[in-house]
Chain A
Amino acid sequence: MTPIARQPLSLGGRDPLPYLVLPALMVLALAAMKFSAWLTLTVAGLAVGCMLFLAAIGLTLIFGLMDVLNFAHGGFVTLGAFIVAAVFAALPASGGGAAAALGVVALALAAAAVAGGGLGLVFERLLIRRVAGAPLRQILITVGGGIILQQMLIVLFGAEPLALPRPEALRGGFIIAGAAVERYRLMVCLLGLVVYAATHLALNRTRLGLLIRAAVENREMVEALGFRAERLFRLVFAAGTALAAIGGVVWALYAGMVTADLGADIIILIFIVVIIGGLGSVSGCFLASLLLGLANNYVGFLAPKLALGTDIALMLIVLLWRPRGLLPMDGA
């Protein structure tokens, strides 16, 4: 048993520079294109950013609080995607009104969270706990667990892509200032903001969050004070995998299709997000998600040929500038 000791989390004297990257990017892009195109791309980019955030936040939380990098995270995203497909198959919502559609989506989000969290607990019990304190084996076992999870999803839901038409109420959009804004994207932005705010508040304004932050800093002392740190960490792991599944719901509805490769396809983007943001940082994760979403859209519009390398280039630039990411763990 090694005590988890970290250098004190830096909170005083925040460096404002990383926060300026996002507005700077937006202004630069505005200078390079017409306003209506910029607005459309920006809204779409922010929506993709919020989806990325929803898919990535669980990974960064688990790492920040447990020091476990879960390479099976993509599997939990895929799980969420299949759950929403199953919910939609059971409760066709395309005919009903907006309220019915939102209700079914909410139900799918809840079901995904429950499935993701529950499976996360099993995963933690069967795999993660057995290799505690052995980083190399931890990476290997989560890679192996991810393979099993993905293959089991194929066994249960089939290898063929499932079509997932979005409910009528979440299709289409409207025009603001000459820019097209899709309804679904707006909803995703809203959800992303809510989850960000909720995570932030839970960690900083509740006793449970206080305990978690204390346990990250000095697990032994938290236990010596009579708190069961192991349960705290289990809870965090389940919350992280539940959030991954919620991210899967959102991505699947966006793509209009579910395949078993969904998680594997976006896990790279998720990794890039948490690397850019700073592993373990909630705010960094949010900032990096938006940055990646916007940069991809702008570059895709201005120089489609370069779009392929945007993510990697962004990652390398940020790492050369700040090796620990934009906002390294600030406990929030």
Chain B
Amino acid sequence: MRLLSQDRPGHWLLAILLAAILLALAGAPFLLPGTKALAVAARILIFIVLAASYDLLLGYTGIVSFAQTTFFGLGAYGVAIALTGGSGWLALILGAAAGIAVSVALALAMALLSLRVRAIFFSMITLALARFVQVLASEWRGLTGGEDGLTFSVPRLIAPGFHPFAAPILGLRITGPVIAYYLIFAVTLAAFLILLRIVNSPFGRVLQAIRENPFRAEALGYRTIVHRALASVLAAGFAALAGAMMAMQLRYTNPDTTLSFSLMIDILLMVVIGGMGTLYGAALGATVMVMAQYYLQPLLAALAAAAQGIVLLPALLDPERWLLWLGLIFVLVVTFFPAGIAGSLRARANAAARAPRT
């Protein structure tokens, strides 16, 4: 409980789901051998950090920003550019650090800008900035490799050709990518626990007070500006960290995988479906969404094949149209379950706990 900063999941089903995700991710290379399964598991881990960082902004602070991918991309390009120019752990760490530093600086500048404009303006501005950075990454070929992006090699310990042990361990042949996976796992776990600590600290509670009523919070003597800016900076830093892990895991970086608007939509879906303002929801949402991306499309393809000959239905079920179905789910969640999975489960548990007393 100390590790979880006294923030329990709050409902037995949520606790079981989260424990199952944790165990599955911890044992993924052993449980589900194969490169695709490992890639899916690593992607889930990375998006847990990214979605949780966004939840700090959206769920806990009530700031609607569409520039979270920008920071993710900066982290990824930091690593990519460093490993294209140099090699080894030092380059990797320096690249990640540079990406995080630039993200933090940009987030600070945006936070200062946000003081001058209405909240709704700020959302639009972040969208414009995110788009600008995406175009910039596509056009600045000398630095970013343009649309094609950058492909690079990672330190030998985590490279595909590395086999430290001759014999398999527990039936799994340990390779560089497996080691990389556990590195990502450790960083994700640490990052998530730190974020949990942050939102349950006095600082986190002030953020929520500001979200509920900024004027009252200010009247109580909290410096809303400083708190919001700090939340933005933290969110940007963790997003960049996730981006750096993404680059390390994929061994390439391009605008589409790190900066696109559809990626931003993914993050939004993860946080909203999982449940805003709970962090656990972000982890749950990230898992559900990444799984859906990999496994919903084949399902749609199968359904489309089955619906052959019926008007419009095959076009609706085309795997390319999976965004349509996600959009639909998103709208339904926002309309009917605005608290998301985690929030709805918690509300139930709270209602059940209160009921006997009244």
Contacts and interface: CB of A to CB of B under 8 A. Distances in A.
| Interface SS of chain B | helix
Interface stretch (A13-21, A132-140, A294-302): A132-140
A141 B328 contact: no
Given A145-B331, A319-B117, A151 B321 contact: yes
Contacts of A271: 124, 127-128
A134 B132 CA distance: 29
A155 B334 contact: no
B131 interface: yes
Given A69-B120, A271-B128, A275-B125, A154 B327 contact: no
B324 A155 contact: yes
Interface string A164-176: 0000000000000
Given A136-B64, A148-B324, A151-B323, A143 B268 contact: yes
A272 B128 contact: yes
A312 interface: yes
A142 B351 CA distance: 31
Nearest to B211: A136
Contacts, number: 103
A159 B323 CA distance: 13
Contacts of B334: 131, 137, 140-141, 144
Contacts of B145: none
Given A144-B327, A147-B326, A151-B323, A323 B116 contact: yes
B98 interface: no
B136 A130 contact: no
A236 interface: no
Interface of B: 58, 62, 64, 113, 116-121, 123-125, 127-129, 131-132, 135-136, 139, 261, 265, 268, 272, 312, 315-316, 318, 320-321, 323-324, 326-328, 330-331, 334-335, 338
6 contacts: A130-B335, A137-B338, A152-B324, A155-B312, A268-B128, A275-B125
Interface of A: 63, 69, 127, 130-131, 134-137, 139-141, 143-145, 147-148, 151-152, 154-155, 159, 264, 267-268, 271-272, 274-275, 279, 308-309, 311-312, 315-316, 319-320, 323-324
